[in-house]
Amino acid sequence: MLFWKDKQNDKPAEKAAPEAAVTAEVAAPVEAEEAKSPESKKTIKIAVLTSGGDAPGMNAAVRAVVKSAHARQDVNVLVYGVDHGYNGLIEGKFTPMGLRAVSNTLQSGGTKLCTARCKAFETPEGVKQAADNCFNEGINGVVVIGGDGSFRGARDLTNAGIPCVGIPGTIDNDIGCSDYTIGYDTAMNTAMRMIDNLRDTAQSHDRCNIVEVMGRHAGYIALNTAIASGAFAALVPEKEADIDRDIIDRINFVQGTGKKHFIIVVAEGVGNIDEISRQIKEKTGRDTRTTILGHIQRGGSPSVRDRVAATQMGHRAVELLCSGNGGRVVAMKGEKVVDYEINEALQMKKDFPFDLLQVASDVSI
């Protein structure tokens, strides 16, 4: 059970109109003449959940959903938090969230709603159970904050009659339809600070330090933190590396110019950093150590960019559901908030900035 249940919002206000029967479509916005008095407003219920890996800024997105919903003037919107992602939908864990339920959460890392990966939701039976629970609770739409896997779940739930809107929340920045994902900036800054600290000891001992950062299938964190920390090299899964050519030969060359310490940033999807370390030490004579930053990159207070982006996208998600537009994914294109049909969004691909990878190489000597 969530710790932030708001007792003032356990039930709709007595003056609210009876809720319309739940259908596959979100209740359409009321006409202007129907919204002239509070008694004539329709009431809709929106659920919000976080799914998959946690990312700094998820709480900011949930906060935006709650506050944007309560700020609506055309309809009464009741918001329910879902505990532990799709697991909570299957188990029917809905908790009313009033305005004060999200107080002092903007600056918090992780996700107060908690998150999990749910194997049961990958089955037709799991999706049906979750949809039935939404129908029984009178939920008119669900905001899903997570990555591609979470969006596939949102698509299945939409097809089962519960309209969903996805918000990209993942530190890997690997959502094809969105230039930016919640948590990415904070994770990069966390990794950069840790690498700066490692540089102090690498320089003190004339060592080579190999640092593994997150990014099983995407090298965005590795590339950008390598540039920001002045690393000697960045290895990413998007480009197969030749360790002899790309690392060892270059180390041997720049050692002749007087360089004595090296930082190499490797995305986790590249391969075994211990083997890379062994080769470097064997072929260059340089003492080499490895460090895996791991889940420290997921935590911490979100950056300004993550708080603002999360707020923008949470607000758009509520607008979509209140206007009857489910089956969508909110995204960022440059600095603009946009949205796509969910199947279209899942098929979109993102081009990796190989030109930036060349820049990283050129300035690292």
Q: Which of 48, 45, 62, 47 is nearest to 11 (CA)?
A: 45
Annotation says 172 is catalytic:
yes
What span, in angstroms and rounded, lies between the C-alpha atoms of 42 and 32?
12
Interatomic CA distance for residues 268 and 273, integer angstroms: 9
Q: What is the per-residue burial (b if ≥16 Cβ within 10 Å, else e) of 281-296?
A: eeebebebebbebeee
What is the Cβ-side half-sphere exposure of residue 155, based on CA atoms within 13 angstroms? 16
Q: Residue 136: in which H helix or E strand, if any?
A: helix 124-137
Question: Active-site residue among 54, 83, 148, 172?
Answer: 172
Question: Which helix (DSSP H) or strand (DSSP E) does residue 89 occupy?
Answer: helix 85-91
Determine how many CB atoms are found less than 10 A away from the CB of residue 216.
Answer: 12
- Kindly report each contact of residues 250-257 with a partner whose C-beta sits within 8 Å and lies 24 or more positions away, as own/partner: 250/365, 251/208, 251/280, 251/284, 251/286, 252/283, 252/284, 253/365, 254/365, 255/284, 255/286, 257/365
3-state secondary structure 205-243: HCCEEEEEECCCCCCHHHHHHHHHCCCCEEECCCCCCCH
CA pair distance 218, 196, nearest whole angstrom:
22
CA distance 154 to 173: 19
**Residues with active-site annotation:** 172
